[in-house]
Amino acid sequence: MTLFTRTKSLLIAGLGLLLGACAHPIVLVPNDATTLPAVSKINKQIAYVITPAQRTLEVTTPGGGGDKVRYVPYRDLEVPIYKALSDVFPKVQVAASVEEANKLAGVDYVLVPTLQTTSSSNSAFTWPPTDFSVTISSKVADIHGQAVWEGSVTGNGHAEFSEFKRDFPLAARRASADALQKFRAQLAAAAALRDGAAMPVAAAVQVSPLAAETQQPVAPAAVAAPAPAAVLAKPVEAEAASEQQLANLAKLEESKLRQGPASYEVEQMAKAAGCEGSGAWVVSSDASGETYKVSCKTGKPYLAACAKGSNCLAL
């Protein structure tokens, strides 16, 4: 082997390692809302469990061009799962553990969700995934730890380069929207969760319109989140919610703001400015564009204005 050939081989190998080592951050939160048919609510109260470890769990899966993408699925989908459950049950609470859920007053069921994701790309030149899948598996038990129901749904999302030029995680957002719509419908149709006295049909609710778009299947290699703890038998105690529970609920109220097509761009701008946050949220919008907010860990918000069809500017 000549020196030139050996040097060329080393350069190619090094380039391959650099490409493979690059993991781009994305978010899975679905985009704008659209109206779905109303469902007949189940006359039960439910708590769902997402542990602190799950909220910070970062998953890395393949993107395009030899690159990868990384994201935090439980953090991104916690609020959308809450909204889907609220469409089906009159009262929904969130807990950091099964033990905490069993202490909440009035709870009939405890739901433990598990998320799995896959991603892939048919592009050799761009890193955003063109195909994505999100699977939501659920186990529901009563307050005595007896299994009541379990189910699983998979949402698929596909996006081409012409679509995701301004919204890199578009395939992931579409997969999340599809999974959440199926999750909502599956719960509403679960006879085991009903007591025979269904509540009146609730008003129509809002979820992402992307769920209704044509989706394509993705590669079968799943990345599973850690299995949550088994549901433990523990009587309901009529006591005040813990400080952690109140903090969780406050977080949900704050997070009712939606993310928009420029959320990824604004979040990256915030990080470049030294602001570490958990997503860029639309705080106002009009015909000219949208204003985004990132809640920095320092307590100071980062704001940016994004004109339609143009770049974003920090405020």
* 137 lies in some domain: yes
- Pick from 14, 19, 25, 15: nearest CA to 60: 25
Q: What is the pLDDT of residues 223-262, one digit of tens each?
A: 444 444 333 333 333 334 444 544 554 454 444 567 777 7
Q: Which domain, by its residues, includes 268?
A: 257-315
* 74 lies in some domain: yes
pTM score: 0.61
Domain final residue, candidates 212, 231, 256 = 256
Residues 65 and 187 both lie in one domain: yes
Domain final residue, candidates 221, 237, 256 = 256
DSSP state of 40: B
Average pLDDT value for residue range 28-56: 86
Domain final residue, candidates 227, 256, 285 = 256
Residues 243 and 179 both lie in one domain: yes
**Least confident residue range of 54-58, 159-163, 288-292:** 288-292
How many domains does the chain fold into?
A: 2
Q: Which residues pair with 24 in a beta bridge?
A: 69
Count of CA atoms in the C-beta half-sphere (13 A) of 258: 15
Q: Judge contact between 228 and 112, C-beta under 8 A.
A: yes
Q: Which residues pair with 137 in a beta bridge?
A: 114, 152
Q: Judge contact between 181 and 155, C-beta under 8 A.
A: yes
Residues 243 and 284 both lie in one domain: no
* 8 lies in some domain: no
pLDDT number for residue 56: 92
pLDDT, the chain, mean: 76
Is residue 140 over pLDDT 90? Answer: yes
pLDDT band with cut points at 50, 70 and 90 for residue 184: very high
Residues 158 and 175 both lie in one domain: yes
Q: What is the pLDDT of residues 256-272, one digit of tens each?
A: 567 777 777 788 888 88
